[in-house]
Amino acid sequence: MKRIGVLTSGGDNPGLNPCIRAVVRMGLYLGLEVMGIHRGYAGLIDGEMEEMNARSVGGIIGRGGTILSTARCPEFHEPKGRKEALRSLNRFGIEGLVVIGGNGSLTGALELWRMGFPVIGVPSTIDNDVNGTDISIGVDTALNTILDAVDKIKDTASSHHRAFLIETMGRNSGYLALVSGIVGGAELVLIPEVETTFEDVCRTIESAYIRGKAHCIIMVAEGWKPGTQELARQLRARQEELGFSVRVTQLGHVQRG
């Protein structure tokens, strides 16, 4: 093997650039040529790639995002798109591929492997929902970002004696909400994996108020149903008996930085 490719695919997350740097520099150390593929599988199909050297990845170890860019690629879900990607790999003389991404990206990597192409998949998603790995690239930084926000929200919640619903990312996984809730001292954590009733939530908020707490923090995973906004609407209808007024903070894409 003389030439490999590396790409980042799907949603971005903290740690992609250090991972790209490690792939490039280790490849060069082993005497390989390394091609950086832009925009994930979309760039692979379109042939958007360049040869990388040690300076290509200089100074990126502390930067968020991905220098290779990333994109969703519906075409790759179809056999025709995957065949075009394989033709592109062969056209550029790439003999092995490193795919950095989450479940969708690694599923794509598996399809290429089934077509006989050598692939290495690197789990990289703040959702931390990749089977077979304890922790994915990006999770630790995302948790630190969430906890920093929780600490600040606690301050304003205490000032106004409020209950806050703090929504984290994670798609159908409750990992971020669960761990940040435990470490951040939340009163309750709502995750897709565990059923929690509306009355359970009300009792938790009432209990915090009766015990004299100045605030009540509830972590909500974005995949929890019926959802953060619907829960807030229902809680506001019972605000007087709960003791706390209710506010919502959706942390959103700051968790990916």
Q: Is residue 134 part of a domain?
A: no
Rounded to two decimals, the pTM is 0.90
Mean pLDDT value of segment 225-237: 95
What pLDDT sits at residue 129?
Answer: 94
Q: Which domain does 64 fall in, by range?
A: 3-124
Q: Is residue 205 part of a domain?
A: yes
Mean pLDDT value of segment 41-55: 96
Beta strands per DSSP E along 102-143: 119-123
Q: Let me know whether 252 and 183 are in one domain.
A: yes
* Domain harbouring 251, CATH code: 3.40.50.460
Distances (CA, A) of 18 to 3, 8, 106, 135, 193: 20, 12, 19, 16, 32
Peptide bond into 226 cis (omega under 30): yes
Q: At CA 17, angle to CA 16 and CA 23, rounded to 5?
A: 90
Q: Let me know whether 208 and 110 are in one domain.
A: no
Q: Is residue 229 part of a domain?
A: yes
pLDDT digits (tens, 9 = 90+) for 107-162: 999 999 999 999 999 999 999 999 999 999 999 999 999 999 999 999 999 999 99
Averaged confidence pLDDT in the chain: 95
Q: Is residue 46 part of a domain?
A: yes
What pLDDT sits at residue 76?
Answer: 92
Query: Any residues with CB less than 8 A from the CB of 237 and at least 6 apart, and which?
Result: none
What pLDDT sits at residue 72?
Answer: 86
What pLDDT sits at residue 29?
Answer: 97
Judged against a pLDDT cut of 90, whether residue 239 lies above it is answered with: no
Tokens representing 88 are: 């592109």
Q: Let me know whether 164 and 236 are in one domain.
A: yes
What pLDDT sits at residue 222?
Answer: 96
pLDDT digits (tens, 9 = 90+) for 174-230: 999 999 999 999 999 999 999 999 999 999 999 999 999 999 999 999 999 999 999
Q: Let me know whether 113 and 148 are in one domain.
A: no
pLDDT digits (tens, 9 = 90+) for 60-92: 999 999 999 998 898 999 999 999 999 999 999
What pLDDT sits at residue 200?
Answer: 95
| Catalytic positions | 127
